[in-house]
Amino acid sequence: MSSNHEPPEEKPESTSSSDSDLTSVSQLDSVSEQSTEIEATLPDSKQLNTETKTGTISKLLNDEKSDCSEISDKVKEKLMPVPESSYRDSSSTSLGNIQFTTKRPRKVEPSIISSPEILNTSMNVETARYSQLESNNTTTQTTKPTATYATSISKLSSAQNSTPNIKNKPLARLFSEYNDAHEGEQSRFVENYKTMIQLHYKMFDLDYIESKATFMGTLIPSTMLTKHFTNLYEQKVTKIKLIPSPLFIDYEEDYDINFENIDKRFNPMLEIGKIIEYTYLIFLPERFKSNFERNIITPLNLSYDNLNKEDFIRIVSLHNETLRKIPRKEILSQLKNIKSIPQSFIHDFLQCVYSRIVTPRANDLKHYEAFSNNVYGELLPKFLSDVFMQCNLNSNSIFIDLGSGVGNCVVQAALEYGCKLSFGCEIMKNASTLTELQQVELENRCKLFGIRLQAIDFSLRTSFVNNEKVSTLLKKCDVVLVNNFLFDSDLNKQVENTLKDLKIGCKVISLKNLRPSGYTIDFFNIESILNRLKIEQFKLNEDCVSWTHKGGEYYISTVLEDFDETLFDPSRRHRKTRRPSKYSR
Ligand SMILES: C[S@@+](CC[C@H](N)C(=O)[O-])C[C@H]1O[C@@H](n2cnc3c(N)ncnc32)[C@H](O)[C@@H]1O
């Protein structure tokens, strides 16, 4: 897998702009202090210190030059900057005397090719890019957006770390998928930020927010993770503070910033970027948005893409300053009227919890007997969002996960769909412990963001087979999940028995057909629930599960009042009934 180190972006244009653009950070601070009432105009990022920026840029340019010396003339030619007209958009922001354009030049990024980290760890990307260069004509060669490429690699690398199922997917392929999906968009930390979901329940607990002025919970700070993962922890780390929630500005989370040694499993800068973007997308009152975007979101993305630690840190503190000045009551009325949120918020929020609890202890989940029923694997958040929707999960539903692992599916059903009750049963000790830890962290993080977490319950360190609590709940349940992909036939038989009292209309999501192939009704199974299931098979897309990036199929079975008619369809019945009888004399 590639390192998250990212090569510098193309040389930003120097501006001919006047010195009036130059204002020091201290000036910015004093301006902030003086302002008694916050206006819709937020502090401008052009006031950021420019000296470091200039130094960094010249360093980047030098690096770029020397690194490019190995590149063939033919390739160099194709790396030439392209005309202004091919820039993606026209908005720009100024940081001191350097004009930082958010326009994305459509050219290939030389430093990507020369980045040692990328070269060492993802040769497939480089090969793919070179072959692309060779095969395309000049016009199309120059259409690869520089910054998007840089951003994509870095952000995809992080995605690879946090999403186990795409670990083995060639980075070049991920990149091209990412680029296709994001064509024409600005660089953003939040992926697919335009994909919104309607809120399925009153997600924000306004009474709670109004009643609490300070955050009382205890959270696991991100620094615990950086410490855990980074071998060279003591070196080159800068400690910074982020106000993650605009609702509780008294709470600051510690982060270790290090652009030089980004660990594959946890990238604090990426998490910060996402949190800040969600503040913008969800919590920020409308009148602050355009300035926040111009002065914080865009420069933060640029500083990340340019590996510019100094600017990144300054923009985070500018963000903190800004949040301190936004009237809380305006955020509250923003939340009062909110109807939809980006779907990725749910996934990233859960990832925040997962990365603090499960990621550092992932090895604990490997303590199972090979090929046993306890082989561990996870359904991934996007797939869950979709399949829950398909099953019409909602705030009146009871959801049960039989074999709930570390509790991911249960907490997502609660957080995203606000189910009346989300319940899980898990037999493995380690997975059960991680479930409990995830639940505590989730509850606290929800408080920090004013999220009303609906009822969650588990039956842990015990089997769902002959489990009274499970049996009682199953009778009222609306959606059952059983990730039975690796369950043996005995356990699948036990699942059948466990599900026997499901109510009519209940839906069962499974990865293997609950009715084994060749199943027919006979005298012995006439009472089985399997006869009353309408079973639909669906295509499981790629990247839906943690154990492989390949697709497959999944099933949704709906409990019917009566027998499933298809069981009487001779063409679907056992082979022997379809064979024409042969008579001989
Ligand atoms: C493939 S994992 C699925 C985890 C989670 N439901 C998901 O889809 O992300 C299957 C889980 O079922 C658990 N399991 C297997 N047999 C079980 C049983 N009889 N009772 C409860 N849990 C069981 C395993 O320990 C494992 O954690």
DSSP conformational letter for 106: B
Contact between 118 and 3 (Cβ < 8 Å): yes
Helix ranges restricted to H, 163-244: 171-182, 206-211, 222-229
Instruction: Kindly report the backbone phi and psi dihedral angles of residue 256, in degrees, each rounded to the nearest multiple of 5, phi listed first.
Output: -100, 115
Residue 201 DSSP symbol: S
pLDDT for 335 equals: 97
CA of 390 to the centre of ligand 1 (A): 22
Residue nearest to atom 12 of ligand 1 (CA): 403
Taking residues 130-152, report their average pLDDT: 31
List the single range of 37-51, 216-230, 250-264, 386-400 with lowest mean pLDDT: 37-51
Distance CA(418)–CA(396), nearest Å, equals 8
Amino acid at 380: L
CB 39 within 8 A of CB 151: no
Phi and psi angles of residue 481, each rounded to the nearest 5 degrees, phi first? -115, 130
The helix or strand, by DSSP H or E, that contains position 479, with its residue range, turns out to be strand 479-482
The pLDDT-based confidence of 182 (bands split at 50, 70, 90) is low
The answer to whether the beta carbons of residues 483 and 544 sit under 8 Å apart is: no
Contact 37, 287 (CB under 8 A): no
Give the pLDDT confidence score for residue 580 in this predicted structure: 56
Cα–ligand 1 centroid distance for 334 (angstroms): 40
**Mean of pLDDT values over 440-461:** 98
Residue nearest to atom 1 of ligand 1 (CA): 377
* Residue 122 CB partners (closer than 8 Å, separation 6+): 1, 2, 153, 171, 172
Quick one: CA dihedral 397, 399, 442, 319, positive or negative? Answer: negative
Mean pLDDT of 255-284: 92
pLDDT averaged over every residue in the chain:
74
How far is it, in rounded angstroms, from Cα 407 to Cα 401?
8
Q: pLDDT exceeding 90 applies to what percent of the chain?
A: 56
Query: Known binder of ligand: residue 408?
Result: yes
The DSSP letter of residue 166 is: G
Residue pLDDT, tens place only, 153-174: 454 455 444 444 544 555 566 5
Distance between Cα 267 and ligand 1 center (Å): 29
- For ligand 1, what atom is nearest to the CA of residue 491? 19
What's the 170 CA to ligand 1 centre distance in angstroms?
Answer: 29
In this structure, which residue's CA is closest to atom 11 in ligand 1? 403
Token digits of residue 506: 């209940």
Look at 38-42, 103-107, 492-496, 506-510 and tell me which has the smallest mean pLDDT.
103-107
Q: Nearest residue CA, atom 4 of ligand 1?
A: 405
Lowest mean pLDDT among 38-42, 137-141, 179-183: 137-141
Tell the residue number behind the tokens 């390739």, with chain if given: 75
- Residues 463 and 237: their CA atoms lie apart, in Å, by 45
CA 406–ligand 1 middle distance (angstroms): 9
pLDDT: which is higher, 113 or 271: 271
CATH of 19-342, one of 1.10.260.170, 3.30.70.100, 3.40.50.300, 1.10.510.10: 1.10.260.170
Of all atoms in ligand 1, which is nearest to the CA of residue 494? 19
Q: What are the tens digits of pLDDT across the range 186-203? A: 789 998 888 999 998 999
Q: What share of the chain is helix, strand, coil (3-state, %, to 5)?
A: 45, 10, 40
- Residue 356 CA to ligand 1 center (angstroms) comes to 21
Which of 163, 409, 427, 460 maximizes ligand 1 atoms within 8 Å of its Cβ, making it the mutation to test the pocket?
Answer: 427
Question: In ligand 1, which atom is closest to the CA atom of 465?
Answer: 19
Closest atom of ligand 1 to CA, residue 424: 6
Residue 463 alpha carbon, nearest atom of ligand 1: 20
Alpha helices, DSSP H only, in 459-558? Answer: 468-474, 489-498
Best residue among 165, 354, 369, 374 to mutate for probing ligand 1, ranked by most atoms within 8 Å of CB? 374
Is 63 marked within a binding site?
A: no
Lowest mean pLDDT among 123-132, 322-331, 406-415: 123-132
Half-sphere exposure of 541 toward its Cβ, with a 13 Å CA cutoff?
10
Residue 54's identity, in one-letter code, is T
Is 353 labelled as part of a ligand binding site?
A: no
Segment 528-578, tens digit of pLDDT: 999 999 999 999 999 999 999 999 999 999 999 999 999 998 776 555 455
Q: Nearest CA to 409 among 382, 429, 428, 433?
A: 382
User: Is 401 a known ligand-binding residue?
Assistant: yes
347, 383, 426, best to mutate for ligand 1 pocket (most atoms within 8 Å of CB):
426
Q: In this predicted structure, what is the pLDDT of residue 310?
A: 96
What's the angle, vertex CA 479, arms to CA 473 and CA 485, rounded to 5? 105
Tokens of 52: 């470091």
d(C-alpha 28, C-alpha 24), whole Å: 6
Quickly list DSSP for 188-253.
Answer: -SSTTTT-EEE-SS--B-HHHHHH-SS-------HHHHHHHH-TTTTSS-EEEEE---TT-TT--E
DSSP letter at 359 equals: G
Rounded CA gap, 351 and 270, in Å? Answer: 12
SS3 per-residue string spanning 315-345 = HHHHHHHHHHHCCHHHHHHHHHCCCEEEHHH
pLDDT at 550: 93
Domain boundaries, the chain: 19-342, 369-572
Q: Is the pLDDT of residue 15 over 80?
A: no
Query: Is 440 annotated as ligand-binding?
Result: no
**Ligand 1: centre distance to CA 517 (Å):** 23
The preferred substitution site among 404, 497, 509, 510 for testing ligand 1, maximizing ligand atoms within 8 Å of CB, is 404
With cut-offs at 50, 70 and 90, classify the pLDDT of residue 445. Answer: very high
Residue 552 annotated as lining a ligand binding site: no
Fold of 369-572: Rossmann fold (3.40.50)
- pLDDT tens for each residue of 465-515: 999 999 999 999 999 999 999 899 999 999 999 999 999 999 999 999 999
The whole-number pLDDT of residue 3 equals: 33
Does 407 appear as a known binding residue? yes
Q: Ligand 1 atom 6: the closest Cα is on which residue? A: 404
Q: What is the spatial distance between Cα 378 and Cα 404, in angstroms, rounded to a whole number? A: 9
Q: Which residue has the CA at smallest separation from atom 23 of ligand 1?
A: 403
Helix (H) / strand (E) containing 537 = strand 533-540
- Beta strand 479-482 pairing with 507-510: parallel
495 annotated to a ligand binding site? no
- Of 5-9, 47-51, 78-82, 378-382, the least confident: 78-82
Q: Whose CA is nearest to atom 25 of ligand 1?
A: 374
Residue 256, beta-bridge partner list: 239
**pLDDT at 301 (0 to 100):** 96
Residue 558: which H helix or E strand, with range? strand 552-559
User: How far is the CA of 327 from the CAs of 38, 280, 311, 336, 527, in angstroms?
Assistant: 8, 15, 26, 15, 63
User: Which of 432, 483, 485, 547 is the best mutation target for the ligand 1 pocket, counting ligand atoms within 8 Å of the beta carbon and taking the most?
Assistant: 483
Pocket of ligand 1 (CB under 6 A): 373-374, 376-379, 401, 403-405, 408-409, 425-428, 431, 463-465, 483
Protein residue whose Cα sits closest to atom 14 of ligand 1: 403
Query: In the predicted model, is pLDDT for residue 366 greater than 90?
Result: no
User: How far away, in angstroms, is 468 Cα from ligand 1 center?
Assistant: 18
